[in-house]
Amino acid sequence: MITERILAQTFSRSVNSLEWREQYPQFPHILPEVPYDGGRADFVCTPVEFGALPVDEISALRKALRNPAMTKVISVLYQYPAQNFGDLQYLTQLSEDELFVTLQSLFSLGFALPHGNEFKLNEDSILRNLEIEFWSFELKLTNWRGALYQAIKNQIFAHSVAIVIPQKWSHRLDDRLDLFRRLQIGVVSLDIDSGDAKFLVPPVKKTPGSSYSYYLTLGVFLERAIKHVPKE
C-alpha cells in the first residue's frame, strides 16, 4: 500500500540518486516541510552548495534574516534599489524607531548603506551577489488538484515548482498536462518500487512572486541546512 509517507521517503531518495543527477539538477540541500508566510511546502531544494559560500558573510546573513524587520527592509531594498526613510517606512510598515534601529543593524552588518537622503543595499555585500535558486515539490497520492493549488502558492517564494505523484496514477493527468504547461508548473511521475523519477512536464523557472517570502525561505535554509556556521 502506497502512503504519502512512503511517497515522501521515495522522493527524498530519488533526488539523491545517481540517475536523478544524470538528468536533472543536483540538490545539495533538500528540506522537508518548509514553512513560509503562505503555508508549508512539502520539499524545498536548491542546487546551490552553501558550504562553498563565505562563512562570515553567511553567518551575518543568517543573523539578519532571523529578524523579521531586517528581512522586510532587505526585501524592499532588493525590489526598489534606493528609498528615502519615509518611503521605506511606508513600504515596510515599521515604526520610525523600529526602522531607525533596523537600518543601523543593517549598516553594521554591511548589508545596507546610506546614499545621500536614501538607503540602498551594499553592492559589495553577499545580498547583491548571492543567487540562491529554490525548487519546491508538492507530493500527493491522487489529489493532484490539491497539489496544484499548493504549487501555485509556492510560486511566491520558489523559482521552479512541481508536483510529484506516483507513477501508478500518473495516467490520470494525461489529459491535463497542458494545464500544467500553461501554469509553468512541473509534473514528476515517481516509480515507488524503483525510485525512478521522470518529469512529465518540466517546470519553467520564474522570479519568485514575493521577495519577502523568498528571503523568509532563505532564512529557513540558513538555519536548517547549514551545520558548519556557528550560531550567534
Q: Could you give all domains of the chain from N- to C-terminal order, each with its CATH number?
A: 4-49+133-201 (3.40.1350.60), 54-129 (1.10.10.10)
3-state SS of 47-62 is CCCHHHCCHHHHHHHH
Q: Residue 189 has what pLDDT?
A: 94
pLDDT at 227: 55
Give the C-alpha separation, 149 to 140, whole Å.
11
Residue type, 122: N
Q: Which of 140, 138, 75, 143 is nearest to 112 (CA)?
A: 75
Which of the residues in the chain have pLDDT under 50? 228-232
The per-residue b/e assignment along 124-159, b for 16 or more CB within 10 angstroms, e otherwise, is ebbbeeeebebbbbbbbeeebeebbebbebbbbbbb
The pLDDT of residue 229 is 43
Alpha-carbon gap, residue 155 to 68, rounded angstroms: 21
| Torsions phi, psi for 166 (to 5 deg) | -65, 140
- Are 148 and 173 spatial neighbours (Cβ–Cβ below 8 Å)? no
Per-residue pLDDT, 232: 45
Q: Give the three cell numbers for residue 81.
A: 534599489
